[in-house]
């Protein structure tokens, strides 16, 4: 395989893996901040225990998110140096601001939060977790500002063969960013929320610490339903922006080769043949694509073949059609997972509203347990659709993926790094799942004895050596 | 007045000096866990002593790299693609180290802890070694062609000079870390840390001397900026002697400041020697990357300057505050988080 393909595999795999943890961090930070706020306001120790228990999971997850994030910053230079040379002027700025404004905030205040329970006042401690939550969100904003530039480049001019920034304000008010940021951050809140409801449901089913987990469930369910619905609304806005700025991605995500007709129907299922450039056996909902694209029940959507001809006129000969099947199915997986989240969230609301949480259905609680997987599935599918759908471009209309790769690295080097990173990531993933299960099994009231200090003879006899 | 390009060169230098000064000591403490700590409790005391800080210290590196990307994209691109394999190893080490702190205490099993302890050691030894190798090869010169692409072979990166630089920085981190330990622990552990730091001063002096002499003969930086570098070397010698003096007087805070000063001056000398170049081509002087031909446009630098100068005071403020919050010594009798 060549360096482009290997670098793409590395970027995709490390980014997808990294993005299992980021939304959990963003979501859990918010929930923990809410729980600790309730503790500070009500003085109920159970809420403190909640912040600490979910905090334990948060920290394990945060550690993996942070360390896999370092690679993200470095591999633009390592694997995509020609890309970095071309857009560094514009793209580098939000990354640098992210480090300066968000990473420092998160890392410093997470330190205060972990080690400061008895060293700072309750209020300062509470402020720390809110600042961590704010920092993770800020971090998302800047990284999405950078990503939005790749989807829809604004605020720059081409000088001396490279993109140079000429309007920073345009970069941070990019229309793409304004729809992508709420969609992504709300999805992250939903991810944290469904993790908490899922684990709580499991513990309620097991009848362990029921009061504790019922409270956790309720807080998270409220955050979960609000953010799930918010994701859908923001997603709708994003689809409309897509039709305007990246119509090819939209057409590919619909498997639409020719014109859609007016009003345009939405394809639920289709047999797509990229070789013959046609889709067969489609099952369609009338009017829906028009609504998705324009918020009204009329309007035509352009197909891939027409756009291909337009792009050849604009950018020269080449294949401008992204991997259609991947784009098509990832979009549907995302929508399906998102819909299920809303359904589960609504039912949880119904139970809480009718005060039926005392005797919830076992089958429903089992669904909630499996519901943990829905947000990560939707998140991953969403990113796959966004990034695959942009191919062959790294920066839409400006630079192709093939031209972005580092010319001075060999495929052997990249193969080596792909294998090493995949291996270490696989180990991290397994260890993390194991530790999660261990913490969950122990529950909130038996947390702190992991070290087993009593096995250390030094502790019993020689402890005054140090004092 | 500084031009914006000069200002950003200085800022990046400051970020890397800050990184080596701060993460330098927690790398050192990470290494100590293998041979200063006598048992698991002491190891935990050491890890907890850097617990609240190491993550923020590492962000100095991330910010340095981010600033490079934004202000000097050509530098960032040439550097990271040119040193592909060293960075793979540095990243693997940093990944293992970061999770090891969080993971090691989560299970009560000897094999489990040993595994993560090994990760902490390798993760604390390899990154400063590799970064020092990278920085040393900066001033020695690298095969960079007219297209600003670097095609370096193994010996371009790994040679006597760069390895000496790597070992020097590693040992300096260790001594600096030992002095940090004297500030954050009590009793026997503290006394042993001080003693070990004192004993390591001689080998460290030898390495530093070798590094300076080799730099004099193997690079052009003394020709370029002889006077300034001589002053830095003189200050370095003074700081080094003072660190030894303060150690014998048990003035640990001052001694820590002095080992940090030696570290800061070493990194400074590299940036001073480079300026106004950012990477030196061994093929042709004309192919050097400089603060002009590797930089972003004026507008971008201006925006970044405004943003950085607005945020930086806050960042420095709360980081200093966090060191104040955790100024008390770590005691094995209290709750140890890690």
Nearest in space to B246 (alpha carbons), one of B197, B207, B206: B197
d(CA A100, CA A186): 24
Bridging pattern class, strands A393-395 and A399-400 = antiparallel
Tokens of A199: 């684990």
Determine the average pLDDT of the residues in B14-43: 93
d(CA B224, CA B231): 14
Q: Are B188 and A466 a contacting pair at CB < 8 A?
A: yes
The proportion of chain A whose per-residue pLDDT surpasses 90, expressed as a percent, equals 65
Q: Write out residues 23-82 of A within 8 Å (CB-CB) of B.
A: 59-60, 63-64, 66-68, 70-71, 73-74, 76-79, 81-82
The proportion of chain B whose per-residue pLDDT surpasses 90, expressed as a percent, equals 67
**pLDDT range class, residue A457, cuts 50, 70, 90:** very low
Determine the average pLDDT of the residues in B303-317: 93
Q: Are A77 and B319 a contacting pair at CB < 8 A?
A: no
Determine the average pLDDT of the residues in A224-249: 92
Interface test with B, best of A107, A142, A171, A420 (most B CBs within 10 A): A107
Q: Give A411's contacts in chain B (Cβ within 8 Å).
A: none
d(CA A376, CA A192): 10
Chain B nearest CA to A352, separation (Å)? 35
Beta-strand (E) ranges in A278-390?
Answer: 278-285
Determine the average pLDDT of the residues in A399-424: 93
d(CA A241, CA B221): 54
The proportion of chain A whose per-residue pLDDT surpasses 70, expressed as a percent, equals 95
A336-392, pLDDT tens digit by residue? 999 999 999 998 898 888 777 766 678 888 899 999 999 999 999 999 999 999 989
Using DSSP's 3-state secondary structure scheme, residue A408 falls into coil
Instruction: Indicate if the pLDDT at residue B209 is higher than 60.
Output: yes
Instruction: Indicate if the pLDDT at residue A456 is higher than 50.
Output: no
Q: How many CB atoms lie within 10 A of CB B32?
A: 28
Chain centroid to CA A332: 17
- Cβ-proximal residues to B233 (8 Å cutoff; 6+ apart), any chain: B212, B269
B73-122, pLDDT tens digit by residue? 999 999 999 999 999 999 999 999 999 999 998 888 889 999 999 999 99
pLDDT for residue A360: 65
- The pTM for the full model equals 0.91
Nearest in space to A267 (alpha carbons), one of A245, A247, A293, A246: A293
d(CA A309, CA A307): 5
d(CA A442, CA A206): 12
Instruction: Indicate if the pLDDT at residue A460 is higher than 70.
Output: no
A86-139, pLDDT tens digit by residue? 999 999 999 999 999 999 999 999 999 999 888 899 999 999 999 999 999 999
Tokens of A270: 């289709």
Chain A nearest CA to B236, separation (Å)? 30
pLDDT for residue A9: 94
Nearest CA in chain B to A99: B63
pLDDT for residue A259: 82
pLDDT for residue A449: 54
Phi and psi at A283, nearest 5°, equal -115, 120
* Mean pLDDT value across chain B: 91
Q: Which one is predicted more confidently, B197 or A466? A: B197
CA dihedral B17, B163, B71, A172 (to 10 degrees): -80
Q: Which one is predicted more confidently, A447 or A389? A: A389
Burial (CB count <10 Å: 0-12, 13-18, 19+), residue A306 = middle
- A311's enclosing H/E stretch is helix A304-315
B210-244, pLDDT tens digit by residue? 999 999 988 888 888 888 889 999 999 999 999 99
Q: Which one is predicted more confidently, A451 or B213? A: B213
pLDDT for residue A210: 87
Q: Which of A60, A421, A459 is the closest to B102 by Cβ? A: A60
pLDDT for residue A462: 37
Determine the average pLDDT of the residues in A304-314: 90
Using DSSP's 3-state secondary structure scheme, residue A264 falls into coil
d(CA A147, CA A11): 14
d(CA B305, CA B294): 17
Q: Which one is predicted more confidently, B284 or A221? A: A221
- Cβ-proximal residues to B261 (8 Å cutoff; 6+ apart), any chain: B235, B236, B239, B243
**pLDDT range class, residue A464, cuts 50, 70, 90:** very low
Query: Do the beta carbons of residue A26 and residue A185 sit within 8 Å?
Result: yes
Interface test with B, best of A25, A59, A72, A97 (most B CBs within 10 A): A97
């Amino acid at each position: 395989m060549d360096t482009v393909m290997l670098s793409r595999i590395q970027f995709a795999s490390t980014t997808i893996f990294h993005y299992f943890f980021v939304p959990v961090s963003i979501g859990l930070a918010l929930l923990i901040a809410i729980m600790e706020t309730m503790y500070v306001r009500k003085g109920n120790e159970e809420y403190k225990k909640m912040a600490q228990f979910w905090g334990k999971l948060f920290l394990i997850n945060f550690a993996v998110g942070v360390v896999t994030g370092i690679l993200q910053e470095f591999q633009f230079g390592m694997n995509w140096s020609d890309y970095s040379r071309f857009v560094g002027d514009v793209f580098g700025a939000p990354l640098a601001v992210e480090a300066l404004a968000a990473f420092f905030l998160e890392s410093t205040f997470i330190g205060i939060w972990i080690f400061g329970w008895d060293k700072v006042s309750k209020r300062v401690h509470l402020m720390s977790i809110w600042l961590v939550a704010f920092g993770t969100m800020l971090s998302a904003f800047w990284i999405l500002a950078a990503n939005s530039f790749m989807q829809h480049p604004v605020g720059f001019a081409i000088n001396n063969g490279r993109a140079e920034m000429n309007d920073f304000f345009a970069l941070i008010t990019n229309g793409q960013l304004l729809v992508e940021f709420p969609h992504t951050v709300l999805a992250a809140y939903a991810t944290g929320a469904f993790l908490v409801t899922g684990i709580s449901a499991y513990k309620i089913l097991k009848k362990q610490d029921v009061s504790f987990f019922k409270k956790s469930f309720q807080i998270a369910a409220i955050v979960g339903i609000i953010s799930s619905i918010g994701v859908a609304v923001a997603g709708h806005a994003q689809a409309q922006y897509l039709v305007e700025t990246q119509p090819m991605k939209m057409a590919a995500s619909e498997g639409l080769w020719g014109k859609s007709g007016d009003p345009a129907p939405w394809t639920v299922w289709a047999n797509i043949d990229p070789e013959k450039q046609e889709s067969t056996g489609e099952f369609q909902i009338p009017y829906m694509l028009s609504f998705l694209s324009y918020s009204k029940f009329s309007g035509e959507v352009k197909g891939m073949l027409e756009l291909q001809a337009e792009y050849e006129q604009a950018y020269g000969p080449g294949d401008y059609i992204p991997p259609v099947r991947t784009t098509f199915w990832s979009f549907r997986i995302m929508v399906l997972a998102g819909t299920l989240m809303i359904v589960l969230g609504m039912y949880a609301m119904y139970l809480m509203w009718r005060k039926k949480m005392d005797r919830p259905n076992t089958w429903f609680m089992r669904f909630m347990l499996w519901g943990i997987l829905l947000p990560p599935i939707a998140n991953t599918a969403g990113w796959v659709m966004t990034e695959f759908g942009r191919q062959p471009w790294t920066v839409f209309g400006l630079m192709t993926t093939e031209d972005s790769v580092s010319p001075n690295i060999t495929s052997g080097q990249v193969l080596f790094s792909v294998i090493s990173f995949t291996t270490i990531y696989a180990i991290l993933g397994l260890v993390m799942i194991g530790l999660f299960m261990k913490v969950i099994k122990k529950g909130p009231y038996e947390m702190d004895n992991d070290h087993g200090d009593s096995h250390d003879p030094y502790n019993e006899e020689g402890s005054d050596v140090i004092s | 007045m500084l031009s914006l390009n000069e200002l950003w060169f200085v800022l990046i230098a400051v970020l890397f000096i800050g990184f080596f000064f701060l993460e330098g000591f927690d790398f050192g403490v990470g290494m100590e866990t293998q041979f200063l700590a006598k048992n698991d409790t002491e190891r935990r005391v050491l890890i907890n002593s850097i617990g609240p800080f190491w993550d923020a210290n590492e962000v100095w590196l991330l910010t340095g790299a981010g600033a490079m990307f934004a202000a000097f994209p050509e530098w960032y691109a040439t550097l990271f693609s040119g040193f592909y394999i060293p960075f793979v190893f540095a990243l693997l080490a940093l990944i293992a180290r970061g999770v090891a702190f969080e993971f090691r205490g989560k299970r009560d099993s000897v094999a489990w802890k040993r595994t993560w302890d090994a990760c902490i050691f390798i993760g604390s030894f390899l990154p400063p070694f590799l970064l020092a190798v990278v920085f040393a090869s900066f001033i020695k010169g690298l095969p960079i062609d007219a297209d600003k692409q670097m095609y370096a072979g193994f010996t371009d990166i790994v040679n006597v000079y760069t390895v000496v630089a790597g070992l020097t920085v590693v040992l300096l981190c260790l001594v600096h870390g030992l002095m940090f330990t004297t500030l954050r622990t009590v009793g026997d552990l503290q006394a042993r840390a001080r003693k070990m730091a004192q004993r390591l001063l001689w080998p460290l002096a030898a390495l530093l001397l070798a590094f300076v002499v080799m730099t004099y003969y193997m690079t052009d930086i003394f020709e370029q900026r002889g006077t300034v570098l001589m002053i830095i070397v003189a200050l370095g010698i003074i700081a080094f002697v003072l660190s030894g003096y303060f150690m014998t007087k048990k003035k640990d805070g001052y001694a820590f400041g002095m080992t940090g000063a030696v570290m800061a001056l070493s990194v400074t000398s590299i940036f001073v020697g480079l300026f106004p170049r950012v990477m030196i081509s061994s093929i042709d002087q004309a192919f050097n990357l400089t603060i002009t031909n590797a930089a972003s446009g004026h507008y971008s630098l201006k925006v970044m300057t405004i943003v950085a100068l607005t945020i930086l005071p806050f960042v420095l403020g709360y980081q200093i505050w966090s060191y104040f919050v955790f100024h008390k010594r770590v005691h094995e009798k209290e709750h140890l988080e890690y």
